[in-house]
Structure 1
Amino acid sequence: MTFSFSDLIDFSKVPIKIFWLFGIVSGILLFAPAQFLEQLKLTEFESNYGMYFGIIFIVCVAFIILSLIYFIFKKINSYFFRKKLTKQLKEKLKKLDPSEQSVLREFMITQRTTISMPMDHPVVSGLLDKYILIRKSNIGTGMYFPMAISKPAEKHLTEFDLGLRANMTEEQMLSVGRNRPEWTSDYIYEMSNK
């Protein structure tokens, strides 16, 4: 059985506040004038343990700098990842097929932000996989669970994406309104969305 220093302490799990604390304290003990240490009654402590203050200070400052660099890289990566996801989501919204459009139009027809839908329906599960729909609760009726349009999708979803056009005739609007998913006439759907 081998032993390593990382078994004793994992620096990544130590709160950075501890490193700030030790960095500030060791920095004060290193760089403070002798009169200041005398006033705090730390001259004897400094003479006994002074050889460790420099090492502690260097380790703490290095860890804080590395943590800041890691934090900055993490924020940059997160920004580009969100930007990439948003771009992919916009493309998915532009390529919705008529059955996906009809599911999303249910939110407009019912004028609700949350609707119970059959999670096992291929169109609904496809919209869940695309992160256009999200499940709002784990409690449902049968396979009907409360669903909502995800915040990023809602932000970029337009009426055009739902198959609606500005210059549609009344007959075309009625045709679109009648084109609803087959499960909307189901008794469980009606009871779940009262």
Structure 2
Amino acid sequence: MHELKHYIQNYKQINIATTWLLLAAALVLILPSTALSVSGLEQWVTEYRGYISIIVISGIAYFIALLLVQAGQSVLEKQSETETMKKIHKMVKVMNTSEQAVVREFIFQKKDIISLPLEAAAVANLIDNCILVPALNSQEIIGTGSKIKLCINIKARALLDHKALGFPEGKMTEQQAQALKAARPAFAKEFYVRH
């Protein structure tokens, strides 16, 4: 769908020209001969009727092709959305303590975007399973061994409740708070808040 919108925006002039050409050609073909004789186009239309018909057929085929591409893009987008949601649901159910700790960092640091190391297995798993996504549209995940700005996928947020993130139920005791602090990933130590 995004690609079709991009195409339509880039080729807006072509689409407008095709629309006008199609309308003009169709109008010439459906006008009665009396109207054409008044305008002096009757002989010209009779002589070039085959070419005008080809223009109409080509214009209609062009717009049918655009509609088919749009329908195909829509179906692919829905399939992709379904696959993403399946991955997210599955991952939320099976997150290990390291992965939970990475996601909890967003809460501990009170940030929407955090730079995380791609070489950390927990981070890589969360990215592969669509829990974490690049924070900037222009940003791409290329290779490993570096940090990248990530955020929690908006589609995953509703599923990441206290239970999914490994928080205890009810009010947290000091011992539970210390256990969660100790479980923080090694790369997060620089963000510890001293009280």
TM-score norm. by structure 1 comes to 0.72
Asked whether the equivalents of residues 105 and 184 of structure 2 are also in contact (C-alpha less than 8 Å), the reply is yes
> Which residues in structure 2 correspond to 1:40-55 (within 5 Å)?
42-55=41-54
Q: 1:39 to 1:154 in 2, by over 3 A?
A: farther
Q: Which residue of 2 aligns with 1:176?
A: 180
**SS at the partner of 1:145?**
strand
Aligned length: 173
What amino acid is the match of 2:98?
Answer: S
Aligned with 2:151: secondary structure? strand
Which range moves more in the overlay, 175-184 or 94-103? Answer: 175-184
Query: Using a 3 Å threshold, how does the CA distance of structure 1 residues 136 and 76 change in structure 2: closer, same or farther?
Result: closer
RMSD between superposed Cα atoms in Å: 2.9
Q: Which digits, 9 at most, give the CA deviation of each residue in 1:117-176, with x for residues without a partner?
A: 2222222222222222223366xxx83332222222234322221112433641324422
Q: C-alpha offsets along residues 92-125 of structure 1, whole Å, 9 cap, x if unaligned? A: 1221100000011000001100112222222222
CA shift for structure 1 position 183: 1.6
Q: 2-side partners of 1:64 and 1:152: how far apart?
A: 34
Residue aligned with 1:162, SS: coil
Q: Unpaired segments of 5 or more residues in structure 2?
A: 1-10, 140-144
- In structure 1, the residue corresponding to 2:72 is in which secondary structure? helix
CA contact (8 A) 2:84 2:130 kept: no
Question: What is the identity, as a one-letter code, of the residue corresponding to 1:164?
Answer: F
Cα offset, 1:72, TM superposition: 1.6
* 1:157 has 2:156 as partner: no
Q: How far apart, in 1, do the equivalents of 2:109 and 2:57 lie?
A: 63
Correspondence for 1:145: 148
Which residues of structure 1 form unaligned runs of 5+? Answer: 1-13
Q: Give 1:64's aligned residue.
A: 63
- Note the C-alpha offset of 1:24: 1.5
Alpha-carbon distance, 1:185 to partner: 1.8
Q: Partners in 2 of 1:168 and 1:95 — Cα distance?
A: 24
Cα distance in 1 for residues equivalent to 2:168 and 2:18? 59
The separation in 2 between residues aligned to 1:62 and 1:134, in whole angstroms, is 39
Distance 1:116 1:105 in 2: 14
In structure 2, the partner of 1:121 is 120
SS of equivalent residue, structure 1 residue 117: strand
Q: CA deviation at 1:37?
A: 3.9
Structure 2: which amino acid aligns with 1:22?
L
Deviations 1:31-62, CA, capped at 9 Å, x for gaps: 02345445655445424422312222123223
Give the TM-score normalised by the residue count of structure 2: 0.72
- Letter of the 1:52 partner, please give it: Y
